[in-house]
Amino acid sequence: MTASTAAKPLLKEPERLETRLKEIPTEAGVYFMRGSNGDILYIGKSKKLRSRVRSYFRDSQRLSDRIAMMVRQVVEIEFIVTDTEAEALALEANLIKQHQPYYNVLLKDDKKYPYVCITWSEDYPRIFITRKRKLGRAKDRYYGPYVDTRLLRYTLHIIKRVFPLRQRRQPLFKDRPCLNYDMGRCPGVCQALITPEEYRKIMQKVAMIFQGRTDELTSKLRSQMEKASEELNFELAAQLRDQIKALFALNADQKVSLPDDTVSRDAIALVANDEYCCIQLFQIRAGKLVGRLGFFADAKAGTPGAILQRVLEEHYTTVESIEIPTEIIVQHELPEGEILIEWLSQTKGRKVSLVVPQRQTKAELIEMVERNANYELARTQRYRDYNNQALQDLATILDLPDLPKRIEGYDISHIQGSNAVASQVVFIDGVAANQHYRHYKIKNPTVTIGHSDDFASMAEVIRRRFRKYTNSPPLLVGEGAGGRGDDFPDLVMIDGGKGQLSAVVEVLQEMNLLEEVRVVSLAKKREEIFLPGESQPLTTEAEQPGVQLLRRVRDEAHRFAVSFHRQQRLKQGRRSRLEEIPGLGFQRQKQLLAYFHSIDYIREASIKQLTEVPGIGNSLAKEIYKYFHPN
């Protein structure tokens, strides 16, 4: 089927809507809601398609704000009929993963909880922690999101210490492994000293830990250790022994008291306030709590049972069949629990049961999950309240018409003019948004070693940041910064005093943007806030929430600028030593550093190894060797 070319939403054409609803069968299947440009707004499933789709357009039906907004945009409805409800659920899951419709996203991705990613799409997979789940590569696997970040980092640290794994994204050398290989931390991936097949076997063992199969892995390693001992391969046996010990250390969590410790279980519960819903899922394997996952959703997204069902559907579509437990304990009755269980049983290949406990130990387990969700929601709410209080206080201090959603902070870093750089950090809703950070290298020719000019440097950075807005029309009155787009700041904070602020104001005036860009500066010594055109700082207290927020932005901008400056200085230091070598030009210096990655490794290289670098002949290699070995 193809999307209709009609531009009007179905709600505005009652006759066409009624005709379309009558065309939808009463069988089980999946339905698509399409917008005016043909894009899929929402994908759903039902055992009776016509009844479910019709319910969206009934006046008496109470819809969440998110779904109500979606319904107002629907211009066409399509469907696919299936034989069973379980098939409809499986098809819905696959289509959502394929199309990722905007209104199907129930869980809020505020990067609060981290995932573990294993890049199975690569010949030699990497493993790392990330707060952004990318679904671009189908083979890559994400485990989580995990609530306890500290425990997760400790787990990954132990794993990388006892399992020989790839340690670097890019190899350090082209012709030999690095120190990690000598220490036994890496099997020599960069030089292909281990085949992709053998390396994947190691990574599959690691994956079992995050799948909750630690006991199974321990048993497997113990068998391999006994076999290695019988074959007198004591080095391998010792390595396997250390891995088993590490797994015991990781598996020393609190034992959950349940009647049958052999059953793998997931227990899920939620707690909600007027705005947010916090969901926690406890993974219990062999009577031990092996994982605690956390999710956030819109509290108005549906009934508690509907939210739990949607979370379970989204979660289990992203895991392997072996990770699905044989029993799921839920806090509330699920509206379509039978369909979910049928689908999970088919996916796992064995019966999966769903339990809503009313008393005894399983009910106590749900109460424990609920208490943890309540603590997490309260902690998150306190943090959000504090941020909101700081934003409101800052808006009051600066007399802003609205809360500053996007705040940008700028700072300059150099040593007497050398390696001058600038930083741009971004805070959204009072929280650092690292993905929007940016570095600048100062290009002003007057800023050189021995001659610094922070005013000119700051002016250059602001000019480069806002020059794309100079040719666009000005905002209309009352339109606000959002009219420029999401990347246009509501507030710009300059690290410095009146001098830096005046330099920035002058640039914004030249660009005709001073009326749109709200800019302030924060001086370090007395934490004083200066406004454009004002000779005296604002009357504030250093510890009030709005000032503390500005200080966090200032400190982050300073940290980010200093770290980039140090990085540039280190590169410059490398090159400055190489510049002393006769006949070694800038281009060959770059080639040397790209090949060896370090001055120390260049010093240790032989003449023959130096000649392997492109552009380095025998005579130049001798000059380089002679420079580092004068005696």
The architecture of the domain spanning 265-379 is 2-Layer Sandwich (3.30)
Which CA distances in Å does 343 have to 2, 134, 325, 351, 590? 29, 25, 13, 10, 57
CA R_g for the chain: 30
Q: Do domains 265-379 and 399-568 have the same CATH topology?
A: yes
Cα distance between residue 554 and residue 521, in whole Å: 9
Please check the confidence at residue 473 and state whether its pLDDT lies above 60.
no
Number of helices followed by number of strands (H, E) in the chain: 19, 18
Contacts of 441 (CB under 8 A, 6+ apart): 420, 421, 568
Residue, of 80 and 150, whose pLDDT is higher: 80
CATH topology for 399-568 is: Nucleotidyltransferase; domain 5 (3.30.420)
Domain 579-628 has CATH 3.60.20.10: no
pLDDT digits (tens, 9 = 90+) for 250-266: 665 555 556 566 788 99
Q: What is the mean pLDDT of the chain?
A: 85
For the chain, give the percent of residues with pLDDT over 90.
Answer: 31
**Taking the model in full, what pTM does it have?**
0.67
Residue in 610, 563, 565 with CA at minimum distance from that of residue 589: 610
> What's the average model confidence in pLDDT over 534-562?
90
Tokens 């030009």 map to which residue? 585
> What's the average model confidence in pLDDT over 396-423?
89
Please check the confidence at residue 336 and state whether its pLDDT lies above 60.
yes
pLDDT at 2: 42
CATH topology for 10-104 is: GIY-YIG endonuclease (3.40.1440)
pLDDT at 482: 45
Number of neighbouring beta carbons within 10 Å of residue 203: 19
Which CA distances in Å does 26 have to 46, 200, 473? 9, 48, 53
pLDDT at 260: 65
Residue, of 100 and 24, whose pLDDT is higher: 24
Cα distance between residue 171 and residue 547, in whole Å: 45
For the chain, give the percent of residues with pLDDT over 70.
Answer: 91
Cα distance between residue 273 and residue 285, in whole Å: 31
Please check the confidence at residue 297 and state whether its pLDDT lies above 70.
yes
pLDDT digits (tens, 9 = 90+) for 183-223: 888 888 888 899 999 999 999 999 988 888 888 888 888 88
Highest mean pLDDT range out of 167-176, 382-391, 567-576?
Answer: 382-391
3-class secondary structure for 217-243? HHHHHHHHHHHHHHCCCHHHHHHHHHH
- Determine phi and psi for 463, rounding to 5 degrees: -65, -45
Q: Are 612 and 630 in contact (CB under 8 A)?
A: no
pLDDT at 290: 81
Q: Are 270 and 190 in contact (CB under 8 A)?
A: no
Residue in 526, 538, 532, 479 with CA at minimum distance from that of residue 504: 532
In the chain, where the domains are located: 10-104, 265-379, 399-568, 579-628
Residue, of 75 and 274, whose pLDDT is higher: 75
Please check the confidence at residue 474 and state whether its pLDDT lies above 70.
no
Pairing of strands 327-330, 431-432: unpaired
Contacts of 389 (CB under 8 A, 6+ apart): 545
